[in-house]
Structure 1
Amino acid sequence: MNSIILLKGAVKYPITLDPGVWIFDDRKVDFTTYFTSERKEIDELTAYTKSVSEHWDREIREGASFPPIQSSVKKFEKQKILEGTFAMPLKYFIQNAEPNDSAKELVIVTKDSSHRTISLSEALDGILLFSKEGKPLIEDGPVYFYYGNGKNIENPIKDIQEFIIQ
């Protein structure tokens, strides 16, 4: 099984995706609650600026201090990663690839060379499951594609080899 997926086509920057490292990415989402919880869009730049600003203000008021280490919190987070089921929103990678203005759809190419074509807006809402119960998707992975509205929750697109933006 090849765990590398290509994102290419009508893009400024073709991208190679490696789902094996996404477990360490802060953008990952908990798949078990993704379709049942309410999602709100967060502007990453604004959130980062606010976080840095709060930290700076605290340092000015109190001086530099290191947060206390809470081993139980660290242990919980480690356990969550080792046993969790996680997905990654596809939009981050599509946005980084910078599709051409003429791009309207995404072609999902699977292992058996079958193609599934979806609109670019559907692709931007989609998520890629990459970890199930703490384990990578070895048999029919490396990722499963789910529509953002969950309409294929019972039958995800599996065995994905590459994404082609057209």
Structure 2
Amino acid sequence: MEMIIPVKGAVAFQITLDPGTWIFDDRKIELTDFFSGNTEETDELEEYKRATGAHWSREIMEGAVFPPTLKTERKFKKSELLTGTFGMRLEPFLNNAQPLEGANQVVIETKDGETAFDIETAKSLLLKFSHEGKPLQEDGPAHVLLPDGSNSDHPITDVRAIRVEKVTAV
């Protein structure tokens, strides 16, 4: 099974996605919390600024040593990674590929067929890449989930490619 997903078609840049590396990406979403409504949208730049400022202040006040609480936080985050169910939004990847002007549809190519979404709906899709701390080996490398979680019991599986198209109305 191929573990990368190409984004191709009517895009300025054909890119490949490697869900195996997303566990290290700060943009990942814990899906259990997301679908239960326990998450809040945050501005990534503001969050980065806040964290950087807190780190800088801690270094000024305490020096460059890690306090015991920071070590505990790291252990907690590691156990969370080993047991969590995670996904990524499709939007930043579509934006990086830069759909060409007039592109209005995204097709998810799977082992068993294709599923099409208008481009705005596609941007809100989630790519699940981990279930209870394990990568999706059997029917992965990623599952496509609707943002409301309505297909979480029966996601689009065996994703092979994401194709952007210009479709004209007949």
Same fold (TM over 0.5): yes
Residues in 2 aligned to 1:27 and 1:156: alpha-carbon distance in whole angstroms:
21
| Conserved? CA contact 2:33–2:39, under 8 Å | no
Instruction: Tell me the alpha carbon deviations over residues 3-25 of structure 1, each in whole angstroms, 9 at most, x when there is no partner.
Output: 11001111111110010111111
Percent of residue pairs bearing the same amino acid type: 41
Query: What residue in structure 2 maps to residue 150 of structure 1?
Result: 149
Query: What residue in structure 2 maps to residue 9 of structure 1?
Result: 9
Query: What residue in structure 2 maps to residue 164 of structure 1?
Result: 163
Unaligned 5+ residue runs, structure 2? 166-170
Query: What residue in structure 1 maps to residue 109 of structure 2?
Result: 109
Query: What residue in structure 1 maps to residue 100 of structure 2?
Result: 100
- Length, aligned pairs only: 164
1:131 matched to 2:130? The reply is yes
Instruction: Tell me the alpha carbon deviations over residues 67-109 of structure 1, each in whole angstroms, 9 at most, x when there is no partner.
Output: 4243322221111111111111111111111112211110010
Task: Give the TM-score normalised by the residue count of structure 2.
Answer: 0.84
Gap change, CA 1:45 and 1:160, over 3 Å in 2: same
Task: Give the TM-score normalised by the residue count of structure 1.
Answer: 0.86
Instruction: Tell me the alpha carbon deviations over residues 27-64 of structure 1, each in whole angstroms, 9 at most, x when there is no partner.
Output: 101111111215544333344345445656x3897596
Out of 92-101 and 63-72, give the one that drifted further: 63-72
Counterpart AA for 1:152: N
Gap change, CA 1:60 and 1:88, over 3 Å in 2: closer
Out of 156-165 and 4-13, give the one that drifted further: 4-13
SS at 2:107's partner residue? Answer: strand
**How far has the Cα of 1:149 moved from its partner?**
1.8
Unaligned 5+ residue runs, structure 1? none
Residues in 2 aligned to 1:115 and 1:164: alpha-carbon distance in whole angstroms:
10
- Superposition CA RMSD, Å: 2.2
Residues in 1 aligned to 2:77 and 2:138: alpha-carbon distance in whole angstroms:
27
| Conserved? CA contact 1:122–1:148, under 8 Å | no
Query: What residue in structure 1 maps to residue 117 of structure 2?
Result: 118
Residues in 2 aligned to 1:47 and 1:91: alpha-carbon distance in whole angstroms:
19
| Conserved? CA contact 1:127–1:147, under 8 Å | yes
Gap change, CA 1:66 and 1:127, over 3 Å in 2: same
Residues in 1 aligned to 2:118 and 2:146: alpha-carbon distance in whole angstroms:
11
